[in-house]
Chains A and B, each alone.
Chain A
């Protein structure tokens, strides 16, 4: 029996951690603490503006209910959200070094990833290790070694760009009030604000290569502290069905909250029994989460040029349909987001129209039609997931199969171990969109993804996924190749060795295609800690 799920205080948790802002427009401010005492006051003055899980969740429910009523049209609702996180250096300044060390799980002998930071960890993630190579931390625009440390990150998110900009300006005015006698700002911008915006039009919700993004997100187990009879994430599976204990909705796995939030019950593989909460060095750390931010530049023409060459190799042609077919193998989903193990031969947006369908697929085993709780409309009659144990439909190097192998055999033992590596993603694109990415030509603009994830452990989750599965030729599948989208393939991957992807053509012939080109260039970022609301209050009240 699964034990009772814990009560979560949603008023204490920052809303981008759970359930996620999910806004089209975001601005990130990167600040250094120039005066600790005044900075405490400045941060304290922001606490009332921090968006909690309660607010963000309620907004989502209201929006869903309006959309259900108006047949899926825009809800017309608009909100501005704000969250805060701190770099290691920021925690050292506001708390102390010993606490900052312990937050990341390190100590005097062993430094944690949080302590040494993203730039130092960069080569471990597969980034270029040669300073002469573009993408090396010395070329970064955020978090470049030797630049001022990023002590504080402010995330502002909204439904309209104008609203986000207006709020951002108000925030600047507010922060300008906290200055030293010499007129020095307590919280100073390290770099210009970073803007991220959805791509607009038909590409809303898609990333720059053209694929629907952010579809698969795990759900968190737990009940609302303010209403213990309700789960924090809606459950729509028939409680008597075999899947109900593991999924919130078809294909959306349930994770114990300690997978994302510190101090909570943790995921224990696929066991229904959670692991006890991690020991915390201080109580104020509970309900906080680590935030990873990476600025990932995408080479859209380069990506589709490679797709074209793969298409010629596998299909003997490179028309748009051929490009789409190959692109779907590389990603594991069609551009619409439809999973290829459910629709192997053609894109079918009807899979994406229903959030009870879009994540309900596996790789190794055939799908089972889920039974839903009473009151749920019947599921659309669409083909179930096809068993693909040998990677004939979705290659083992296909992006979504690498970063979330689902029911595949994994080198860690059992597929349940995958659950203990998952994280929640809160990214947003930046830069101008190409109208049709498949035919993009270099235009001199920089574009990509502001990758943001939250997790309870940077090492066990984000870094594990990057180091072992994205950049690993042999894991989770021996000989499977590196991640066809995110992997380091080119000359910059010296030390990782050659890699290839095996694609099975429509005629059943297998093609081993060398992976030679990087489509992603890291442009910076950092590792941060996003405390709870009570934790923030404690942090600014210290000393």
Chain B
């Protein structure tokens, strides 16, 4: 379970969730096998067969604030404004917050920020709760978003609605940007284990080149090319690779150097509360004044600039996951050119190299 949270009440749920997660890995492995034409996949499903042998961990981190928006060339204030705008049908979070970190800003009657909720939980887990643990789903929404939440408000017909009002206009329970899914994370990691070659036969090593070649994500984001870059580096070293348990995406505590209260005192980590997950696996964090503080979030200055947008805090939160790799140099797979996987007729793959490619 992401962050090792103990949400489940139903005894069957842990196994069911594990099976779902396992499907993500199986599917990602199948996608690699579509390429590999009989060569062993360099991606493994930790629920099935964790290798033994030499072992390496590779933490992969990237900034939580959307790089695509940051590179838009808009004035700084406009970038922050758009990232979290809620106006008409536009939910800025759904459109722009695409680095697996999303946030929701609560303001007081004077429009001053009093609280910023950060989440990095993929929607799949919440869909699973809706299906298997509806009481838990409701209880978590009531705990973290509002005591007023009703179960029917979280649904559209019989199905869970991730874009319900309590997870869009009135709060942020989990990720909703379409690319921010747990499955996408697993799939990108898997796809990135495929080695890629240049026309001259040399291996591709550049992050942008790799993602544009393999198309395993959005090249303009920080996360996708960086995950792919580092995972492919492990694959080039001949490792068998996966994502460290508990599989999930995790935020780091905000780096608060330069944050000060109006009386000039440094702002400490007591302003950031881990609301879900644990110190090592933060799934949900809240930036809010500690009890007894005479100040609120909007009073805080970052390098002399008062906090006017949640994105100013998102800029100092890194996102991350950890890659695990076994048996350096154990695999020497063939590298592939760019484009989609060659379609392979599975039954004939081993016997006929002519018939295998049905391009």
Q: Which of B60, B63, B304 contacts A117 (CB 8 A)?
A: B304
Whether, in the assembled complex, B6 has its beta carbon less than 8 Å from a beta carbon of chain A, the answer is no
Whether, in the assembled complex, B14 has its beta carbon less than 8 Å from a beta carbon of chain A, the answer is no
- In the complex the two chains form, what is the Cα distance from A503 to B256 in whole Å? 28
Whether, in the assembled complex, A495 has its beta carbon less than 8 Å from a beta carbon of chain B, the answer is yes
Given contacts A116-B303, A116-B305, A414-B229, contact A409 B75 (CB under 8 A): no
Q: Is the CB of A459 within 8 A of B76?
A: yes
Complex interface bits, B70-107 against A, C-beta within 8 A gives 1, otherwise 0: 11010111001100000000000000000000000000
Contacts of B309 in A (CB 8 A): 110
Q: Is the CB of A475 within 8 A of B61?
A: yes
B197-213 residues at the A interface, CB under 8 angstroms: 205-208, 211
Q: Which of A53-61, A74-82, A101-109, A158-166 contacts its partner?
A: A101-109
Whether, in the assembled complex, B225 has its beta carbon less than 8 Å from a beta carbon of chain A, the answer is yes
Contacts of A102 in B (CB 8 A): 75
Nearest-neighbour CB distance to chain A for B1, whole angstroms, equals 24
Measured CB to CB, the nearest residue on chain A to B319 is A411
Given contacts A109-B77, A110-B309, contact A414 B303 (CB under 8 A): no
Q: Which of B61, B62, B258 contacts A124 (CB 8 A)?
A: B258
Q: Which of A109, A112, A268 contacts B308 (CB 8 A)?
A: A109
Given contacts A106-B76, A107-B77, A109-B77, contact A412 B306 (CB under 8 A): no
Contacts of B302 in A (CB 8 A): 124
- In the complex the two chains form, what is the Cα distance from A292 to B208 in whole Å? 31
Contacts of A111 in B (CB 8 A): 304-306
Contacts of B34 in A (CB 8 A): none
Q: Which of B61, B63, B80, B257 contacts A110 (CB 8 A)?
A: B80
- In the complex the two chains form, what is the Cα distance from A365 to B258 in whole Å? 36
Q: Which of B73, B233, B320 contacts A275 (CB 8 A)?
A: B73
Contacts of A410 in B (CB 8 A): 226
Q: Is the CB of A279 within 8 A of B260?
A: no
Complex interface bits, B56-71 against A, C-beta within 8 A gives 1, otherwise 0: 0011111100010011
Complex interface bits, B118-153 against A, C-beta within 8 A gives 1, otherwise 0: 000000000000000000000000000000000000
B175-221 residues at the A interface, CB under 8 angstroms: 205-208, 211, 219-221
Given contacts A106-B77, A279-B75, A409-B226, contact A364 B205 (CB under 8 A): yes
- In the complex the two chains form, what is the Cα distance from A337 to B70 in whole Å? 34
Contacts of B58 in A (CB 8 A): 478
Whether, in the assembled complex, A123 has its beta carbon less than 8 Å from a beta carbon of chain B, the answer is yes
Contacts of A460 in B (CB 8 A): 70
Q: Which of A279, A414, A471 contacts B257 (CB 8 A)?
A: A471
Contacts of B80 in A (CB 8 A): 110
- In the complex the two chains form, what is the Cα distance from A365 to B205 in whole Å? 8
- In the complex the two chains form, what is the Cα distance from A430 to B205 in whole Å? 42
Contacts of A383 in B (CB 8 A): none
Contacts of A407 in B (CB 8 A): 206
Contacts of B208 in A (CB 8 A): 269-270, 413-416
Contacts of B268 in A (CB 8 A): 495
Contacts of B305 in A (CB 8 A): 110-113, 116, 120
- In the complex the two chains form, what is the Cα distance from A409 to B207 in whole Å? 7
Measured CB to CB, the nearest residue on chain B to A389 is B233
Contacts of B308 in A (CB 8 A): 109-110
Whether, in the assembled complex, A474 has its beta carbon less than 8 Å from a beta carbon of chain B, the answer is yes
A460-493 residues at the B interface, CB under 8 angstroms: 460, 463, 467-468, 471-472, 474-475, 478-479
Contacts of A107 in B (CB 8 A): 75, 77
Nearest-neighbour CB distance to chain A for B207, whole angstroms, equals 4
Q: Is the CB of A105 within 8 A of B225?
A: no
- In the complex the two chains form, what is the Cα distance from A120 to B258 in whole Å? 9
Q: Is the CB of B258 within 8 A of A413?
A: no
Q: Is the CB of A129 within 8 A of B258?
A: yes
Q: Which of A119, A412, A420 contacts B222 (CB 8 A)?
A: A412
Nearest-neighbour CB distance to chain A for B200, whole angstroms, equals 11
Whether, in the assembled complex, B266 has its beta carbon less than 8 Å from a beta carbon of chain A, the answer is yes
Q: Is the CB of A112 within 8 A of B303?
A: no
A271-324 residues at the B interface, CB under 8 angstroms: 275-276, 278-279
Complex interface bits, B307-318 against A, C-beta within 8 A gives 1, otherwise 0: 011000000001
Whether, in the assembled complex, A205 has its beta carbon less than 8 Å from a beta carbon of chain B, the answer is no
- In the complex the two chains form, what is the Cα distance from A279 to B75 in whole Å? 8
Whether, in the assembled complex, B230 has its beta carbon less than 8 Å from a beta carbon of chain A, the answer is yes
Q: Is the CB of A269 within 8 A of B77?
A: no
Contacts of A478 in B (CB 8 A): 58-61, 320
Chain B interface residue count, CB cutoff 8 Å, equals 49
Whether, in the assembled complex, A525 has its beta carbon less than 8 Å from a beta carbon of chain B, the answer is no
Nearest-neighbour CB distance to chain B for A174, whole angstroms, equals 35
Contacts of B301 in A (CB 8 A): 120
Q: Is the CB of B303 within 8 A of A110?
A: no
Among A416, A467, A478: residue with most chain B CB under 10 A = A478
Measured CB to CB, the nearest residue on chain A to B257 is A495
Whether, in the assembled complex, A38 has its beta carbon less than 8 Å from a beta carbon of chain B, the answer is no
Q: Is the CB of A112 within 8 A of B226?
A: no
Whether, in the assembled complex, A266 has its beta carbon less than 8 Å from a beta carbon of chain B, the answer is yes
- In the complex the two chains form, what is the Cα distance from A278 to B73 in whole Å? 6
Q: Is the CB of B207 within 8 A of A126?
A: no
Whether, in the assembled complex, A224 has its beta carbon less than 8 Å from a beta carbon of chain B, the answer is no
Whether, in the assembled complex, A212 has its beta carbon less than 8 Å from a beta carbon of chain B, the answer is no
- In the complex the two chains form, what is the Cα distance from A275 to B206 in whole Å? 21
Nearest-neighbour CB distance to chain A for B10, whole angstroms, equals 37
- In the complex the two chains form, what is the Cα distance from A468 to B67 in whole Å? 14
Contacts of A479 in B (CB 8 A): 59
Contacts of B320 in A (CB 8 A): 478
Among A112, A117, A124, A270: residue with most chain B CB under 10 A = A124
Nearest-neighbour CB distance to chain A for B213, whole angstroms, equals 12
Nearest-neighbour CB distance to chain A for B67, whole angstroms, equals 6
- In the complex the two chains form, what is the Cα distance from A16 to B138 in whole Å? 62
Nearest-neighbour CB distance to chain A for B251, whole angstroms, equals 13
B23-81 residues at the A interface, CB under 8 angstroms: 58-63, 67, 70-71, 73, 75-77, 80-81
Q: Is the CB of B71 within 8 A of A112?
A: no
Measured CB to CB, the nearest residue on chain A to B58 is A478
- In the complex the two chains form, what is the Cα distance from A130 to B293 in whole Å? 20
- In the complex the two chains form, what is the Cα distance from A433 to B28 in whole Å? 60
Q: Which of B73, B220, B229, B258 contacts A266 (CB 8 A)?
A: B73
Nearest-neighbour CB distance to chain B for A87, whole angstroms, equals 14
Q: Is the CB of A123 within 8 A of B229?
A: no
Q: Is the CB of B67 within 8 A of A412?
A: yes
Whether, in the assembled complex, A50 has its beta carbon less than 8 Å from a beta carbon of chain B, the answer is no
Contacts of B75 in A (CB 8 A): 102, 105-107, 278-279
- In the complex the two chains form, what is the Cα distance from A119 to B305 in whole Å? 12
Q: Is the CB of A412 within 8 A of B266?
A: no
Contacts of B233 in A (CB 8 A): 389, 409
Whether, in the assembled complex, A63 has its beta carbon less than 8 Å from a beta carbon of chain B, the answer is no
Q: Which of A110, A411, A467, A474 contacts B226 (CB 8 A)?
A: A411
- In the complex the two chains form, what is the Cα distance from A122 to B264 in whole Å? 13
Q: Is the CB of A121 within 8 A of B303?
A: yes
Q: Is the CB of A495 within 8 A of B229?
A: no
- In the complex the two chains form, what is the Cα distance from A270 to B229 in whole Å? 15
Q: Is the CB of A495 within 8 A of B61?
A: no
Whether, in the assembled complex, A496 has its beta carbon less than 8 Å from a beta carbon of chain B, the answer is yes
Contacts of A467 in B (CB 8 A): 257-258
Measured CB to CB, the nearest residue on chain B to A270 is B208
- In the complex the two chains form, what is the Cα distance from A476 to B37 in whole Å? 36
Complex interface bits, A444-471 against B, C-beta within 8 A gives 1, otherwise 0: 0000000000000001100100011001
Contacts of B67 in A (CB 8 A): 412-413, 417
Q: Is the CB of A120 within 8 A of B303?
A: yes
- In the complex the two chains form, what is the Cα distance from A496 to B255 in whole Å? 8
Nearest 3 A/B pairs, CB to CB: A120-B304, A124-B258, A124-B303
Can you pick out 12 interface pairs between chain A and chain B where the beta carbons lie within 8 Å of each other? Answer: A120-B301, A120-B304, A123-B266, A124-B302, A124-B303, A266-B73, A413-B67, A413-B222, A471-B257, A475-B318, A478-B320, A479-B59
Given A270-B208, A478-B60, 13 new contacts (CB under 8 A): A109-B81, A120-B305, A121-B303, A268-B71, A275-B71, A364-B205, A412-B62, A412-B226, A413-B221, A414-B226, A463-B303, A475-B318, A495-B266
